[in-house]
Amino acid sequence: MKLLFISAFITSFFCFNTHRKSIFSNSKHQKSDTLIPLYITEDLKQLTTLTKSIMNAFHIQIRPNVKMDGALKFEVMELGGNFVGRFYVEDYSLVDNKVELRYYKNPLLLIRPNIDTLLKMGFSKGQGNYVVAVSVIVHELTHYLQSTLPMEETQDTMKFSNIENRRKYVRKPEEFEAHAVGGYYSLYYLKRAVLEYIMMQDLPDESKMKWIINAEDAILYPGSGAIFPEEYHPLPYYLNN
């Protein structure tokens, strides 16, 4: 059996001040600092562990047989369209004929050369660009780890030509999870106070995930409209700067 997981793409990168001090110095959310090391190494295992931690924070189900997978490989190559990252599985097997117990024989994480270039710049030089590039890896690792099965691609969801197509794409269950996890990582560095504010709210996980996606999307696609307008919440004025 063969699978091809395709992640969302990002068309532009920005540079931000990633050293902004959190205003929630005594926040209960401060414990989540242990999720994100200050500097990300090229160790894919470390980043996989980090991705699991964020998924657990949202109670996103992880495939129980991940440990049975073949070695996860990482390659840089040109990808079709505007995709910057893809997770590809050449073959998979089932345990007890249950798809939720699947494990992957040759999992492969792919990124485009421009993302690899940003990663090699490092945090100190690339700052916001580096953070968004690492979030691409976190997004793809979520696809690798998630129990949720991918939906079949359609023409309109393969293109981000307008906000409606982007909404269709991100609302797919597997993409919703991956965008939320990647968004958590991005906001931690780019808008940490916003992330802390969202995570402190007494809301279901799904609502927090939608809010996080909206917040990250406002950074990557300013002025384009919210992915989840039904979950749009104005932020306090002190978080808008």
The three-state secondary structure class of 12 is coil
pLDDT at position 35 over 70? no
Q: Which residues pair with 110 in a beta bridge?
A: 75, 86
Cα gap 131→144, rounded to integer Å: 20
Classify residue 3 as left (phi > 0), alpha (psi -120 to 50) or beta: beta
pLDDT digits (tens, 9 = 90+) for 141-183: 999 999 998 766 655 555 566 778 888 889 999 999 999 999 9
- Residue 22: give the domain boundaries: 3-239
For residues 88 and 7, is the Cβ–Cβ distance under 8 A? Answer: no
pLDDT digits (tens, 9 = 90+) for 124-134: 655 778 888 88
For residues 82 and 114, is the Cβ–Cβ distance under 8 A? Answer: no
Q: What is the pTM of this model?
A: 0.81
Total number of domains constituting the chain = 1
